[in-house]
Amino acid sequence: MADPIKVYPSKPDKVYFFGTCLIDMFYPDAGMAGIQLLEREGIEVIFPQDQTCCGQPAFTSGYHDEARSVARAQLDLFPEDWPIVVPSGSCGGMMRKHYPDLFKDTADEVKAAGVAGRVWELTDFLLNVCHIKLDDLGEPTTVAMHTSCSARREMGVAEVGPKLLGQLNNVTLVEQARAEECCGFGGTFAVRHPEISGAMVEEKVETLVDTGARAFVTTDCGCLMNINGFAEKNRHPIAGRHILSFLWERTNDDKGDGQ
C-alpha cells in the first residue's frame, strides 16, 4: 500500500546517496548505476564517506539499543535539506519508517524524524520526482520482476519497477504467480530460520522459472543474493540483476562509461 503521507518534492539540484551494506560489499555496479542515472537527470549526487549500516539487522533481531547506536552514526551525515535516496526498499524502509520510533523520547528524536522524512527509495525517486524518460537501446528480451517485501509494504513502490520497465520498448515484462510473496531472505530471518527461508526461496524461484523468463530484476540486493544463490546452486535456468544496473545498461549509449 502506498505511503498515505507521501508528498513528492520538486526535482532537486542535489541529493544524498545512502549506498547500503549489500551494494557496498556485493553489488557496487547497482550503486554506480543509480548514481549515473541520477547524474544523467542533472542531479549532483553527494555520497557521505562515513556512512555505514542503517541499523536494520540489529533492529529486526530485537536489539534496539544496538540498532540505535548504529543508526545514530548516520544522522549527522545529511546536514543539508536535500533528499536522501536509497537503492533499497529494505534500508529505505528502516530509515523512513522506523527511525522515528527507534529514536522516540531520545535526544535525537527530532533529528531522526528530519532524516526519515527526506528518505526516498531510488526507483520511486527517479520515476516520481525526476520523471525520468527511458530510451531503450538494448536487444529484445523478456524479464520477470521481484519486488521486496519492504519495497512493497513499507515504501509503497510495488508499481514503480513495472512502470520503469514499461518504458523500455524492447523489454517484455512477465508476471510471476503470487508476486507479492516473500523470497525468504528477510535479513536475519534467513539465518535464524534457514529451513523456512529455504522453502520460501525454492517456491519463489519456481514461480519465476514458470514465467518462461530466464532473467529477473529486483529492487533489493538481499532478495537478489538469495534468489540467485538458490537458483545457481540448484541449476535453475534463471538469473537476476538489480533493476538499476539493468536500466542503466539498457539506456546508456556510451558503453565505455562505467561498463
Model confidence, pTM: 0.93
Which CATH number fits the domain 141-251, given the four candidates 2.40.70.10, 2.40.37.10, 3.40.50.1860, 3.30.70.20?
A: 3.40.50.1860
pLDDT at 175: 96
For residue 121, the model assigns a pLDDT of 98
Q: Is 93:155 a contact under the CB 8 Å cutoff?
A: yes
User: Domain ranges in the chain?
Assistant: 14-128, 141-251
pLDDT at 6: 81
Block mean pLDDT (10 aa), the chain, length 259 = 70 98 96 98 98 95 96 98 97 97 98 97 98 98 97 95 98 96 89 92 98 97 96 97 98 65
- pLDDT, residue 192, reads 86
What is the reported pLDDT for 3? Answer: 53
> What is each CA distance from 203 to 55, 158, 207, 240, in whole angstroms?
29, 20, 6, 16
Long-range contacts of 196-202 (CB under 8 A, 24+ apart): 197/226, 198/230, 201/226, 201/227, 201/230, 202/230, 202/234
Task: Pull the grid cell for residue 224.
Answer: 537478489
Q: Residue 88's pLDDT is what? A: 97
pLDDT at 191: 83
DSSP letters along 82-131, please? --EEES-HHHHHIIIIIHHHHTTTSTTHHHHHHHHTTEEEHHHHHHHTS-
Quote the pLDDT of residue 259.
38
* Lateral strand order in the sheet of 141-146: 171-174, 141-146, 215-218, 239-242
Instruction: Give the tens place of pLDDT for each residue, 212-257.
Output: 999 999 999 999 999 999 999 999 999 999 999 999 999 998 755 4
